Each structure stands twice: as C-alpha cells, then as structure tokens.
Amino acid sequence: MKNLVAKPTGAHSFELGEGPVWNPLSKQLSTVDIFQRRVHLFDLEDSTPVHRSSFETEGDVGAALPLLAGEFVLCENDKIVIRHPDGTREKLTDVPLQGKNLRSNDAKIGPDGALWVGVMDYDAVEGAGSLWRVSRSGDCQKLLSNLTIPNGLDWWGKEFWFVDGPTEEISCYQFSDAGLEETDRRFTTNGTPDGLAFDSSGDLWLALWGQGRVDHFNQNGEVVESVEVASPHSTSLCFAGEDLNTLVCTSALFAMDEVTISQYPSCGDIFSVPVAVSGRPANLLLL
C-alpha cells in the first residue's frame, strides 16, 4: 500500500476547519471555520493553498458552497442563505429541523441540483441528527433521520455514499426524486469517518477524525493508499487545481488539549499533496 504525506501551509490554525470546495471557474478554494463563523478563500500556487481573503457569516457555518454567479450557499446554525458577491444576503429557508441546540453540518449540491445538508445536535446527541434535501425555492425533504453526526457525502452514478459519525462505516444508498433506498453495500473504516469525495475513476477518499489521515478506497472497499496529515483531527477533503489532481485536506484544533496541540504544531492547518488521480468538478448550480 502506498503512503503519501500532505504538506501544511504553515500559516493557519483553524478551530474547526471544514468543507473545502474547489471552484473550477474562479480557480479558487474555499473552506469554513465553523465556530469562528468565517469563510476563507485561497488561490492554489504549486499545489499549496495561499490565503487571499475571508468573510464573516451570521451564524456557525457548517458549509459554504460556491455557485456559478459568484454567490455562496451558506449553511448556518439556524438558516440557509445565499450570499451574493456584493455581500448582500438572501434567506433561502430556516434550517429544516429547528432547535436551540441544532446546527447545519456538512453539505454539498447534489447531481439533482438540490442542496443536501445534514443537521446535528451541538453535543452530537445520538439520534438527534438528520439529512435533508433543499431546493432553491426553499422546499425541504427529509432523507434520513435518527442520525448522530451527518457528515461526508458524495454521489457516484445513482449511488449516494454517506457517513454518520461516529459509526465506522461508509454506507451506500440508491437515490431518486422519491428519496433514498438503503443497500447492503458498506465500507468499514479504520477510525471515525468525516468528509469524503469520489475521484474521477470512482474510488472514494475519506478523511478520518482523530487519525490524522486520508484513506483512499478502491471500488471493492479496500484501502489502497493513505495520506498522512500532521493534525490528528483531519476533517474533510476535495480535489483542487487546474487538473483536479491536488488533494486538499482541512483539519481542526477543536476538542484537543494543550499538550496534544503542542505535539502537533500544524494542527488546524490546511494540507495538500499532488496525487496520481484527478477529482471531479463541484456542482455549482442550485436548482
């Protein structure tokens, strides 16, 4: 099995860095720092993210997804909004499941043109989480309930792959307009699964919380390659760059004590490494 080592930028220590997305039109990488309520924007220079700017959100921001016209869909703790390039905001809908201790978590725009977003309890109460599909008109459809930490998600053909932490597996569903149908396909993970993404060949890449690692699974569920990340809480990933062959991984300081932080001076940074495969462009169209 091959092993790669991702390189930190050496410039950042995010509390809960998450949700990296590469915009192939603007050639820009975006990430969120959930509890610091900021979206950060980067260029990619020689496979290294270089910080260019950031903007604040009005709530804890689980995901910030770029759109075609330069807007962002912001999944905040109590609402989902579209932020326009001039900074003005347009409310799409309240977070589908309301509660003072609930917030948005991971999200992506699916191949159906809808926003798929997880809602979870701040204390990760078992069974309090759910997964939703939201249209640009604000219509909401519950897809899954009784979750704990609705996290990494991506699609391959008519398959929807998803993790509900801290369960150490990746589950496959068939999806349609009617919703999700569970299948018996599952990959076992060696650690708590977090963000994930498919590459262009149909292999799946997974960040592992608490492990400082990204695992590359082939289509049989076998780990064929691992990427070391010098930050225990590796959180999420995307493929970036002109050829989508730079793996970018976010990380977090969250829930780490001072002793552990001192042992990992790069924790909370953004990491990157060239890889031998290419990813797939993010969906920039919300219908």
What is the rounded average pLDDT for all residues in the chain? Answer: 97
> What's the pLDDT tens digit per position in 61-73?
999 999 999 999 9
What phi-psi label fits residue 217: left (phi over 0), alpha (psi between -120 and 50 degrees) or beta?
beta
Res 100: pLDDT: 80
DSSP helix/strand/coil, 264: coil
Res 164: pLDDT: 98
Res 2: pLDDT: 78
Give all strands of the β-sheet with 48-56 in edge-to-edge order: 17-23, 28-33, 38-45, 48-56
> What's the pLDDT tens digit per position in 12-28?
999 999 999 999 999 99
Res 97: pLDDT: 83
What phi-psi label fits residue 228: left (phi over 0), alpha (psi between -120 and 50 degrees) or beta?
beta
Q: Residue 173's closest CA among 154, 196, 190, 198?
A: 154
**Domain assignments of the chain as residue spans, ordered by start:** 2-274
The ranges of the chain with pLDDT < 70 are: none
> Token digits for 34?
């959930």
Sign of CA dihedral 225, 229, 232, 234: negative
Res 99: pLDDT: 77
Q: DSSP letters along 76-105, please?
A: ESSEEEEE-TTS-EEEEEE-SS--TTEEEE
> Token digits for 243?
């050829």
**Could you give the residue ranges of the DSSP H alpha helices within 17-65?**
none
* Total-model pTM: 0.97
CATH 2.120.10.30, domain 2-274, yes or no: yes
